[in-house]
Structure 1
Amino acid sequence: MAAEVTILVLREPGADAALPLPEYQTAGAAGADLRADLGGAELELAPGQIKLVPTGLRVQIPEGYEMQIRPRSSLALKHGVTLPNTPGTIDSDYRGPLGVIMINLGTAPYVLQHGERIAQAVIAPVTRAAYVIAEALDDTARGAGGFGSTGRG
């Protein structure tokens, strides 16, 4: 098992303190479930609609890590509800409200319930790179081929 990282969590003013903090549903889960904090109300996502869904939380992620926000496969498969910018990244220096951008790709409206599990948070190490101008790049067998250049499937 990998070393545990501590994520400090602060509830937004007016957030529902009865909602659980992000939590793992099984011992082998990579993502901790995030919940919609809708002030006890519902939120409808019409087909094709994108909305920012509040979690009622702010987080402090240790330097050298990021929080990746990923869709829940059950929402995507059963209802066509997913995240348009997946994975979303929460940087270690961000201290604002944690929201989840959601889209309904299904054919019917989807009504989000207060407290519903809407996304997963995965904590991952970050490697920073130095970008340097070069005179040339090394040749490879693939070269500049992309977007299907290696064949179908």
Structure 2
Amino acid sequence: MKVKIINKSHHPLPAYGTFEAAGMDIRAFLPEGSVTLRPMQRALIPTGLYMQLPSGYECQIRPRSGLALNYGISIVNSPGTVDADYRGEIGIILINLGENDFTVNDGDRIAQMVIKKYTRVEWEPAERLDRTEREDGGFGHTGKN
């Protein structure tokens, strides 16, 4: 599938790290300088990227596992969604859940994007739902083991 993209940064387009990778690494575009996130601080990090997705598709923005494990860096609204009708710059809302300051530099790989097809639904109002073995059990009702 081909997707139109405008890259106003001086960095490479998002790219897959390996042949079977689902996500493409996306880079920070910080021409004015680095951004330092203190613990529990969040910031909108620009990418310089604008895209035109086909109808019926979304772009999911997900954390990078290495940043999450090694530094506690995540995405506040994970996964973030870029809708097919959005034409603005893609921004990444990073949060520092770690114990130390974390500096984001221009060109750093800060997130990954996955392009996904989605289905729209029509609500069917009902008085009751079909019964299941689980019923309303949730939030760990099956235990830890």
The alignment's TM-score, normalised by the length of structure 2, stands at 0.96
Is 2:144 aligned against 1:152? yes
The aligned counterpart of 1:104 is 96
Identity %: 49
* Consecutive aligned runs of 4 or more in structure 1 exceeding 2 Å deviation: none
Gaps of 5+ in 1: none
Tell me which of 74, 92, 95 is aligned to 2:84: 92
1:79-102 CA-partner distances (Å, limit 9, x unpaired) = 100112111111101111100010
Partner Cα distance (2:133, 2:18) in 1:
43
The aligned counterpart of 2:23 is 31
Tell me which of 44, 48, 51 is aligned to 2:40: 48
Shift in Å at residue 112 of structure 1?
0.6
Tell me which of 5, 13, 36 is aligned to 1:9: 5
Shift in Å at residue 152 of structure 1?
1.9
Q: Which secondary structure does the structure 2 equivalent of 1:74 belong to?
A: helix
Q: Which amino acid aligns with 1:152?
A: K
Gaps of 5+ in 2: none
Q: Which amino acid aligns with 1:87?
A: P
Q: Which amino acid aligns with 2:121?
A: A
1:131-142 matches, within 5 Å, as 131-142=123-134
Shift in Å at residue 40 of structure 1?
5.3
Shift in Å at residue 109 of structure 1?
0.3
Q: Which amino acid aligns with 1:66?
A: E
Q: Which secondary structure does the structure 1 equivalent of 2:15 belong to?
A: coil
Partner Cα distance (1:143, 1:83) in 2:
32
CA-based RMSD of the aligned residues comes to: 1.1
Tell me which of 54, 65, 74 is aligned to 1:62: 54
Partner Cα distance (2:2, 2:14) in 1:
12
The aligned counterpart of 1:71 is 63
Partner Cα distance (1:139, 1:94) in 2:
39
Q: Which amino acid aligns with 1:120?
A: Q
The aligned counterpart of 2:113 is 121
Q: Which amino acid aligns with 1:10?
A: I
Partner Cα distance (1:29, 1:87) in 2:
17
Q: Which amino acid aligns with 1:8?
A: K
> Between Structure 1 and Structure 2, how many residues are aligned?
145
